[in-house]
Structure 1
Amino acid sequence: MSTGIGARDSLSGLSGVWLDWMRRLKVALGAARGLAYLHELVNPRIIHRDVKTANILLDECLNAKVADFGLSRPMDNSDLILSTTQVKGTAGYIDPEYKESLLLTEKSDVYGFGVVLLELVTGRKPFERGRFLVAAVRSSMDREKDVYNHHELLDPNIGLDTKPKGLDKIVDLAMKCVQEKGSDRPTMGGVVKEIENILHLAGLNPDAESESTSACFEEASQDEIPPSLREEEVSLS
């Protein structure tokens, strides 16, 4: 059995681990690489079908791993679309196109990942107080204003006083991922490349080895990390 903490618990503060902006970028990259691996490198390809922060586990050095494949579906390499009989997933992360058509594609995972990116930026849940996070970000977005007019939505823990490098680009990428039509969304491979470029912009090496375990915990955690009950993981970090 593997151990780890969910990214959702870290964003909410329940884990005792603090994710600053740089750590959130690394979490985004690790999760994106894991999904790209499922979509592009395994045979048969796999659609995760339940991409969410609760299913992204962080190891002792805060490397992200995609976990929980209970709803996953393999796809024959000749197929681009899988017809389903009912919608599966978690409210707030479900691809609206899949919800309407019952046609599952890899772009459904891309939509869920876009919501994950918005959670990393805002610290908010995908659905709360009767409103979806995607709708809240979309309705307040104004690219002519500082941080796209999202001051009230952004998580202050990412250090807004110094405007985190790459913040606007991550929001742009998230909104590409949550386009209504799957055909308008990037592939996970394309998402990985964009996040790697954003890390370079922020002064990080996306291929650098993680810090030592002791350094990670001394800086990021005050509490003992609770054991995870999830056993299956995919990661390229």
Structure 2
Amino acid sequence: MSHSSHCLNCHQEVLGKFCYDCGQKTDTHRITFKHFVLHDILHGVWHFEKGILFTIKEALIRPGKGSLDYISGKRVKYYNVFYLLLVLIGLNIFLSHYYDVFSSKYLNIVFEKESDESELDRFLSEHAKLIIFSIVPLFALNSFLVFRRKRLNFSEHFIIAGMVYLGVILLVTLTEILSFLDFFKYIDVVSKFSSLLISFAIMAYVPFAYYNAFHSDYSKRRFLFNMCLFGFLLMVEITFFATLGILYIDK
């Protein structure tokens, strides 16, 4: 391992452990097999997993405060919320597909759709990412409108919305995983019970997440009013866009 007074990447003079110009570490080393395996690979994977696990924990336990920490600049421990959302959405699509495959094979369920349903299914499939990610800006817009006292800008509300939606997707993913218990005799009831339980958990999670972020700015009564307004706006927006989708399909 060597320490240079100049950055080997951009050739700027360095004084500490990192180059102030490009951010590269100053403790460079010759690449050997041992160091490559023990440091570059295992160290990288460990920190990658730590970031994901920490972000998941924050999303489930303290989504509001975690978001505010991130907004305030405490970001080094977090994995990118939106990258993680993409991974989880992909996992959900994968699990849903194989649940349908196993259902048709082991439960003798045949998935037949009427023509109108096929059109709807095709529309949802083609625009799945747009539909899923449209929820995040709607969350952000509504919280920006009803939770004004913290004086956060729209982009900062977008971060909170991303963290909240990450928690929702994590709970949905758990439901998808437990749904495979349907294929095991005698314990399939666990799947149905857990699905119902997690559905209630999701409904409670969103208010909890926003309470976690904004409870210090509002009385409980005022927060409840704002959260009801948030939910009302969300229903209006979803109804509006769903109507547009139906009109698009009918063309």
- TM bucket (normalised to shorter chain) is under 0.3
Q: Which protein is bigger by CA-based radius of gyration?
A: 2
Between the two structures, name the one with larger relative contact order (CA 8 Å, sep ≥ 6).
Answer: 1
Q: TM-score, normalised by structure 2?
A: 0.23
Which protein has the bigger strand share? 1
TM-score for the superposition, normalised by structure 1:
0.24
Say which structure is richer in helix: 2
